[in-house]
């Protein structure tokens, strides 16, 4: 089954060579007036490991809070999945969260993790298969915003979606709505989508979560520069850039930047890129929603909010959305 791309105007139907795409995206982003890089490029094997390390930092509340909700409410959430559903997880990463649904549902037809980080995807699928020997697991290495193919041989039963980790927050709200609408087309009529969404809260809590004292988020951010140096033969020094992350309350988002410590010119894939001292590369946004603002976004994308669960401190939310 071929999944149509989300951003049809920007995306060819046949996926391009990933290395060429990476080079083109990096050069285009660094040529923009506000330099930027796409957050999806954080996730090579080292980036996936660093992200997992971030989730263990004391300041980083989202992962443990979302897992806490799944531990407390997993049975109720899993009960909403249609009978014998094929469960597709978009941006699956570590399978820690889906396990908390799978334990409640032994009838599922298949679990389909989709992720750009290929080696991590396969190692996680293998570990999951060892723990759930009766579950069909069909990993797909793909960019979920672009055209990709689901494995042949999935049953014709319902398809449900799981999108935890507040990955939705990495998209600008209009693109987030497009992505949710795209997931709706992928999953089909009568689908259910479970989405984890981080909530607006005190700025100090948010700032600390994205700038941990141990410097793991800083290393994660700079890993983009390590990738550019290694994969595109650039002469840039990751240590010449500082990590900066802060909550922009007006835009309701965390912004992550890499700040050039000096005026410098680097060569990337044969092209010179100039940085003024203090100039930044905007590397990630992480939008924070309220329960009503996320429900409005989902409704714009054609989804009907069915249920929502939060932790006792209202730090994080998990939404069940359905589609007529």
Ligand X SMILES: C[S@@+](CC[C@H](N)C(=O)[O-])C[C@H]1O[C@@H](n2cnc3c(N)ncnc32)[C@H](O)[C@@H]1O
- Nearest distance in Å: CB 228, ligand X: 17
Nearer to ligand X, 165 or 275 (CB): 165
Is 319 near ligand X (CB under 6 A)?
no
185 φ/ψ angles, rounded to the nearest 5 degrees: -70, -40
Beta strands in the chain (DSSP E): 2-3, 35-36, 86-90, 110-115, 140-141, 148-149, 159-163, 192-198, 241-248, 253-260, 264-268, 271-275, 280-287, 304-310, 316-322
Got the DSSP string for 52-76? HHHHTSTT-HHHHHHHHHHHHHHHH
- Nearest distance in Å: CB 278, ligand X: 28
- Nearest distance in Å: CB 115, ligand X: 4
Is 97 near ligand X (CB under 6 A)?
yes
Got the DSSP string for 21-37? HHHHHHHHHHTSSSEE-
CB 83 within 8 A of CB 108: no
Do the strands 264-268 and 271-275 form a parallel or antiparallel pair, or are they unpaired?
antiparallel
Query: In the set 57, 65, 86, 167, which binds ligand X (CB under 6 A)?
Result: 167
Q: Point out which residues pair with 141 in neighbouring strands.
A: 115
Nearer to ligand X, 117 or 218 (CB): 117
User: Cβ-count burial of 220 within 10 angstroms (0-12 exposed, 13-18 middle, 19+ buried)?
Assistant: buried
Query: In the set 22, 36, 43, 171, which binds ligand X (CB under 6 A)?
Result: 43
Is 164 near ligand X (CB under 6 A)?
yes
Is 218 near ligand X (CB under 6 A)?
no
Binding mask 114-133 for ligand X (x = CB under 6 A): xxxx----------------
CA distance 256 to 181: 27
Is 280 near ligand X (CB under 6 A)?
no
Is 37 near ligand X (CB under 6 A)?
no
Is 145 near ligand X (CB under 6 A)?
yes
Is 92 near ligand X (CB under 6 A)?
yes
Binding mask 45-84 for ligand X (x = CB under 6 A): ---x--x---------------------------------
What residues make contact with ligand X under the rule CB under 6 A? 40, 43, 48, 51, 91-94, 97, 114-117, 143-145, 164-165, 167
């Amino acid at each position: 089954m071929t999944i149509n791309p989300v951003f049809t105007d920007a995306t060819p139907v046949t996926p391009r060579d990933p290395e060429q795409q990476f080079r083109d995206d990096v050069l285009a982003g660094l040529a923009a007036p506000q330099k930027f890089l796409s957050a999806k490029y954080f996730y090579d094997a080292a980036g996936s490991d660093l992200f997992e390390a971030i989730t263990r930092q004391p300041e980083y509340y989202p992962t443990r809070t979302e897992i806490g909700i799944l531990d407390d409410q997993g049975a109720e959430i899993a009960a909403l999945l249609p009978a014998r559903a094929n469960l597709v997880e978009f941006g699956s990463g570590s399978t820690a969260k889906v396990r908390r649904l799978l334990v409640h549902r032994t009838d599922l037809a298949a679990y389909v993790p989709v992720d750009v980080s290929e080696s991590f995807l396969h190692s996680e699928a293998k570990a999951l298969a060892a723990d759930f020997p009766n579950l069909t697991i069909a990993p797909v290495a793909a960019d979920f915003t672009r055209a990709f193919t689901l494995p042949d041989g999935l049953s014709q039963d319902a398809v449900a979606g799981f999108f935890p980790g507040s990955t939705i927050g990495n998209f600008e709200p209009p693109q987030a709505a497009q992505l949710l609408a795209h997931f709706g087309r992928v999953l089909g009529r009568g689908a259910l989508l479970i989405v984890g969404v981080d909530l607006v809260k005190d700025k100090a809590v948010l700032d600390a979560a994205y700038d941990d004292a141990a410097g793991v988020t800083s290393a994660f951010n700079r890993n983009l520069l390590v990738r550019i140096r290694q994969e595109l033969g650039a002469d840039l020094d990751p240590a010449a850039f500082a990590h900066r992350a802060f909550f922009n309350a007006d835009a309701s988002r965390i912004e992550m930047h890499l700040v050039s410590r000096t005026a410098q010119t680097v060569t990337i894939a044969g092209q010179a890129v100039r940085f003024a001292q203090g100039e930044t590369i905007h590397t990630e946004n992480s939008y924070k929603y309220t329960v009503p603002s996320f429900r409005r976004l989902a409704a714009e994308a054609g989804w009907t909010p069915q249920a929502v669960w939060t932790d006792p401190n209202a730090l994080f939310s998990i939404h069940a959305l359905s589609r007529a």
